[in-house]
A and B are shown apart, each in its own frame.
Chain A
Amino acid sequence: QQQVKQSPQSLIVQKGGISIINCAYENTAFDYFPWYQQFPGKGPALLIAIRPDVSEKKEGRFTISFNKSAKQFSLHIMDSQPGDSATYFCAASNGGSQGNLIFGKGTKLSVKP
């Protein structure tokens, strides 16, 4: 029940295309869903996050779509650029004082020029 399942494991997209990464969770107590971005040799960094009171959140070219009934959320990268090539992790927590982040296994995105 604590798992966050992420797919695909790897993704190759042409420059200018749309990258889509999906995550699913089981624990209905989760109420905070961030995405972290990690470049090679670096630590992960928060990219964008959503709470389940909204179905979509957009920041620039990055959008999170959230489907509470299906217990799924996804990251969309519009107009993908080679500089977006990185590993992306979804995560979930219950947001409370003891709510540690549970991470998905990651998606390695390569954007081809």
Chain B
Amino acid sequence: NAGVTQTPKFQVLKTGQSMTLQCAQDMNHNSMYWYRQDPGMGLRLIYYSASEGTTDKGEVPNGYNVSRLNKREFSLRLESAAPSQTSVYFCASSQGGGGADTQYFGPGTRLTVL
């Protein structure tokens, strides 16, 4: 049982490049989330998917797109990376979409945009 896995672990991009962060969970969870973590800013929700086939914006969605490929996988795409998107990105999943459901986090992707 791997839980939540994320690839890649590290990535360096140049301004304007695009990339997709991959996330997969093997817990048969319905809901999945993408957060970014910046020093002194805590965890901020980018997008979430309450169930397969649905996605919704979180607190900081600008500059990102997501795809809920199937129940297991939820990807985050940066179409044209900017230095302000330098951050650590975490994917999480939970059984339901309710706020009281425990969220299980992946190990994170550290992204640097030059």
Contact = CB atoms under 8 A, between A and B. Distances in A.
A96 B98 contact: yes
A55 B109 CA distance: 37
How would you classify the secondary structure of chain A's contact residues: helix, strand, loop or mixed?
Answer: loop
Interface stretch (B11-19, B67-75, B100-108): B100-108
B100 A46 contact: no
Contacts of A89: 42-43
Interface string A75-87: 0000000000000
Contacts of B61: none
Interface footprint category on B: 20 to 34
B100 A95 contact: yes
Which of A31, A46, A97 is packed against the most chain B CB atoms within 10 Å? A97
B97 A43 contact: no
Interface string B32-54: 01000000111111001010000
B99 A43 contact: no
B24 interface: no
Nearest to A44: B105
A9 interface: yes
A101 B90 contact: no
B97 A97 contact: yes
Given A43-B4, A43-B106, A99 B98 contact: yes
A100 B33 CA distance: 10
A9 B40 contact: yes
Given A100-B48, A100-B99, A101-B99, A43 B42 contact: no
B40 to A, nearest CB: 6
Nearest to B96: A97
Contact of B90 (A31, A44, A99): A44
Interface string B17-33: 00000000000000001
9 contacts: A32-B100, A42-B107, A43-B106, A44-B43, A44-B105, A94-B99, A95-B98, A96-B98, A103-B43
Interface of A: 6, 9, 31-32, 34, 41-46, 49, 51, 89, 93-101, 103-106
Q: Top 6 nearest A-B pairs by Cβ distance?
A: A93-B99, A99-B99, A43-B105, A105-B42, A95-B100, A32-B100
